[in-house]
Structure 1
């Protein structure tokens, strides 16, 4: 099955072997972030954020991001992904300096184009500010996003610790991104409850929500999401790995779908959570009792919600047609 992924952090998709190798090349000691098997090791979501940032610390040059982009696209292709949107943070790509950001972005995009021809994966970028870095840095990130808006950079969002600050603190940044023509998404309803979703919808006016699964705790909100057509970028494997839900049967993805919410499925930070897009769809197949039509609908939801131009969307749609090789 050809797959569409909308919620993937570029640094979070870095294979641990790739990060270990890069750290060794640069003589940087980050051994504590790995377990004995060489996988990323963390205790909870907040520890995960620290491990994530430690892993990202070895990515210090545009060429590092070029190598990372190719590794991630090759990884995606193995799961049958043909279109992917990844979150890019100028915080990590040049410290929000516009000149440096342009160099990093050029390296990422050039590699995405080359690797896309080799792997068959079309990549687009969503510039993402980091919530726990604060509103002032988010404004600098928004300027980077606005400066780069175009065919490749098509969206703007916010990630990080949902408990840090309020969505309204970042309204200026989202307004700037909106004025630049960027589509908008925001992480909410993962570690923040239903109110975090309401706050993002009201104050940031986004059309998609990263995760959003805790809407299930407020059925009136669920019905509002369904009626408005708000898209949820659901990442079940991530939620389960971080302890938000104990297993797939307890995860609300089916309940949300059955109440009419437009759900999509992605991996978030796949090597951190020991998952792939193929694994997500395999498990989803079991959750929906083997109903292939549901998986097709969820996949097409993702294409409909993709932040790309109409021509790209039409091209990808042809790849999803039955019998297409």
Structure 2
């Protein structure tokens, strides 16, 4: 039902989109030891959120050159297009690039080359959201915001914070979000995943975001759900990720449908697909099969993603026109 449906993704971490095969190939270029990173079946080895973050960081560390990042972006965006996506945004992390000895500029240019190559081949349009890593602390997040503002790139159109939501308070990041917002970047933040509804509320109170990454725990507070509707906040929902990380036991239990039915603007994304056995096509399919979401309802999620995308008006209209002919 959804194989040929036009799709869009707003929430995917570019390092987290690297397949085990790509990680092995790039690691071989640089002689990186990957012992313990994979399980007996060749998948990434992790068992809880903390070990997931550790595996993520180890895999991300194999990417060290602009060519590596070009290959990563190209592979991800072409695979997205192969499942019917016309648009995708990826979270990028200058901290991960710097840890590998790469400048922010070279990191972004490598990714941009891959995005452009994928667009030339498939027509998919891509953009990047620069992020600070929450568990690295407020000072590092402030530097991430200053870096993206001081070294602008046409394909870097948003700013956000990812990482361990259990650490620090959103007010600690207010200056970083103010700097990014004043520079015209779109704003989003991870909240309401491992933090409860108060995490979402605090993000809305202190960060001026128009989108929330995940935000599923908002369902536990009817007043907060009403606020999301009233303030037209878009949720970047990642059902497969939430199930894989143990927030919900299965797709039918996920609050996607309840949030949508309450009037919240929801979208569909895969987060870190190879870690969770996911893809953009799988996410749409799981919602169709596991929650009975109709083709029209899922097409609405795609349109919501296009409306909420961090793109200029001309690009948004191009995407809307493609939806009309899809």
Other-structure match for 2:226: 223
Other-structure match for 2:162: 159
Say how many residue pairs are matched.
322
Answer yes or no: is 1:81 the counterpart of 2:82: no
Conserved? CA contact 2:6–2:299, under 8 Å: no
Answer yes or no: is 1:143 the counterpart of 2:146: yes
Other-structure match for 2:73: 69
Partner SS state of residue 267, structure 1: coil
* CA gap 1:81/1:148 in 2 versus in 1, 3 angstroms: farther
Shift of 1:28: 1.3
Other-structure match for 2:192: 189
Other-structure match for 1:5: 9
* CA gap 1:104/1:135 in 2 versus in 1, 3 angstroms: same
Other-structure match for 2:108: 105
2: CA distance, partners of 1:127 / 1:82:
21
Q: Deviations over 1:88-125 (max 9, x none)?
A: 1110123599x911121112112211221102211101
Answer yes or no: is 1:16 the counterpart of 2:16: no
* CA gap 1:223/1:315 in 2 versus in 1, 3 angstroms: same
Partner SS state of residue 249, structure 1: helix
Other-structure match for 1:56: 60
Shift of 1:150: 5.0
User: Counterparts of 1:87-98 in structure 2 under 5 Å?
Assistant: 87-95=91-99
Partner SS state of residue 285, structure 2: helix
2: CA distance, partners of 1:148 / 1:309:
19
User: Counterparts of 1:27-66 in structure 2 under 5 Å?
Assistant: 27-66=31-70
1: CA distance, partners of 2:314 / 2:47:
43
Partner SS state of residue 123, structure 1: strand
2: CA distance, partners of 1:42 / 1:134:
24
Partner SS state of residue 94, structure 1: helix
Match of 1:300 among 276, 298, 303: 303
2: CA distance, partners of 1:120 / 1:35:
35
Conserved? CA contact 2:234–2:267, under 8 Å: yes
1: CA distance, partners of 2:291 / 2:321:
25
Match of 1:134 among 132, 137, 162: 137
What stretches of structure 1 of length at least 5 have no aligned partner?
none
2: CA distance, partners of 1:58 / 1:269:
17
2: CA distance, partners of 1:161 / 1:205:
20
**TM-score, reference length from structure 1:** 0.96
Conserved? CA contact 1:189–1:213, under 8 Å: yes
Shift of 1:274: 0.4
Conserved? CA contact 2:251–2:291, under 8 Å: no
Q: Deviations over 1:232-278 (max 9, x none)?
A: 00000000011110001110000000000001010000111001111
What stretches of structure 2 of length at least 5 have no aligned partner?
none
* CA gap 1:96/1:171 in 2 versus in 1, 3 angstroms: farther
Match of 2:250 among 247, 252, 273: 247
2: CA distance, partners of 1:29 / 1:105:
25
